[in-house]
Amino acid sequence: MIKFDYERLYGRIKSKGYNQSSLAREIGISPSSLTNKLKGVPFRQDEILNICKSLDIKDNEVSAYFFTVKVQKAEHNKQSA
């Protein structure tokens, strides 16, 4: 299963003055739903669009925030060898 790295998204949430709970309310989902999505449950397209609107993420930046693949440490070590 592919896992995505949301570190940049976490930083954007904070820099725009939100926390996970306030952003979840802003986009119309529960805080626990947002937490689960940040832990690996896939985002729906409308959720991505709403988050981008709330956080002023431009269309050409969406992939950097939502689709950066997380490198597994075991895989990374294997590739380095």
Q: What is the pLDDT of residues 38-70, one digit of tens each?
A: 999 999 999 999 999 999 999 999 999 999 999
Residue 1 lies in a domain: no
**Domain tally for the chain?**
1
Residue 70 lies in a domain: yes
Average pLDDT, the chain: 91
> Averaged over 23-39, what is the pLDDT?
97
**Whole domain around residue 71: which residue ranges?**
7-80
Structure-token pair, residue 17: 């003055």
Domain CATH for 51: 1.10.260.40
Total Cβ atoms within 10 A of residue 61: 14
- Contacts for 18-24: CB closer than 8 Å, 24+ residues apart: 18/54, 18/55, 23/51, 23/54, 23/55
Q: pLDDT class for 72, splitting at 50, 70, 90?
A: confident
Instruction: Write down the pLDDT at residue 31.
Output: 97
